[in-house]
Amino acid sequence: GCRTPSLPMGLLFAECDVTVAVVGVAAFGATHLFIAGVCGSSGHTPTGEERRNHAHVLGHQAASLLAVSILGIVGALYWYLWMGDMHSQVAGFTSSSERFLVSFPPSVFIGEVNVAFQVYDFMATALVPKLRSPIMLAHHVMAGSLAALTCYPRAFGIDASSLSNYDLMFFFGVTELSTVPLAVHDALKLLPLHLKTYPSLNLLNEVCKPLFAFIFLAVRCVHWPFVMGAFGSMHLDMFLSDAPTKPVHAFYIVMSSAMTVLQYFWGFKIVTILISVAMGSSGSDKKNHAKKSE
């Protein structure tokens, strides 16, 4: 069956098998092809095979921006503004299984959009030479499998409509908020002539850099451990119990641990870059001051 709950701001998300995922793959693919077609016929891009590759990279950035905007903005609105009752309900749970099996259709929507994006991104990465990377292909397989397991557990032999609905909103939704300014920056840097021609675009490009760093550190390095701590404890508790879903919990524990390490690895790199930029700026100011004094 298909159940459509009424949600804040008039949004209606249907909890139906793979409908959202299928529509999502089509939407991301169509966005990619449309932008690639427009850019491929533009005189502002390179010529020949290089132009086609460049156009497809731009198409990929446009589709990625659409996906992370849906995931990040909808996820953040729910988590920080619309999930008050849900937060209270989960806080009152007395067993890990309640949190694991709680039903929250908007989270399933977020998960299905993520499945769609990973499927699209895998195909784009495999087919576009400039995007092709074994590491990224492996990433899409792992992330897509995790999202699919969460949204479609019956396909993996688990008798439940969906899993970890509550936590899914944060990990597949809120965390992508930091990727929005990054996707804008990555798209704009592929258009150097436009950045020179339109100062407002160049300003937007420059604003996106610190905005990405701030949101990433705030969400993925500061807020992340609080949610991950409860999420990991839930799965560890169920793994150590007599639950018949031990392999599922082991998978979640391994994947969440790896993802946590990655967050702090990237966070460390961002902080290192920020310190380097700050010190470089400070050094330049001192040199300019010294020259003026002379």
The residue ranges of DSSP E strands in 38-95, in sequence order, are none
Q: Phi first, then psi: what are they for 128, rounded to 5°?
A: -95, 115
Q: What is the pTM of this model?
A: 0.85
Strand partners, 3: 15
For residue 166, give the amino acid letter. Answer: Y
- Cα(215)–Cα(203) distance, integer angstroms: 18
- Predicted pLDDT of residue 71: 96
CA nearest 263: which of 237, 238, 226, 293? 226
b/e string for 217-229 if b means 16 or more Cβ within 10 A? Answer: bebbbebbeebbe
- Predicted pLDDT of residue 53: 86
Gyration radius of the chain over CA positions: 22
- Predicted pLDDT of residue 4: 38
CB within 8 A of 254, min separation 6: which ones? none
How far is C-alpha 270 from the chain's CA centre?
17
- Predicted pLDDT of residue 17: 65
- Predicted pLDDT of residue 139: 84
- Cα(180)–Cα(120) distance, integer angstroms: 18
- Predicted pLDDT of residue 10: 39
**Each residue's pLDDT expressed in tens, for the chain with a length of 294 residues:** 334 344 444 344 444 468 889 999 999 999 999 999 988 766 555 566 788 888 999 999 999 999 999 999 999 999 999 998 889 999 899 899 898 988 888 888 999 999 999 999 999 999 999 999 898 898 898 889 889 998 888 888 888 888 888 999 999 999 999 999 999 999 999 999 899 999 999 999 999 999 999 999 999 999 999 999 999 999 999 999 988 889 999 999 999 898 899 999 999 999 999 999 888 866 555 555 555 555
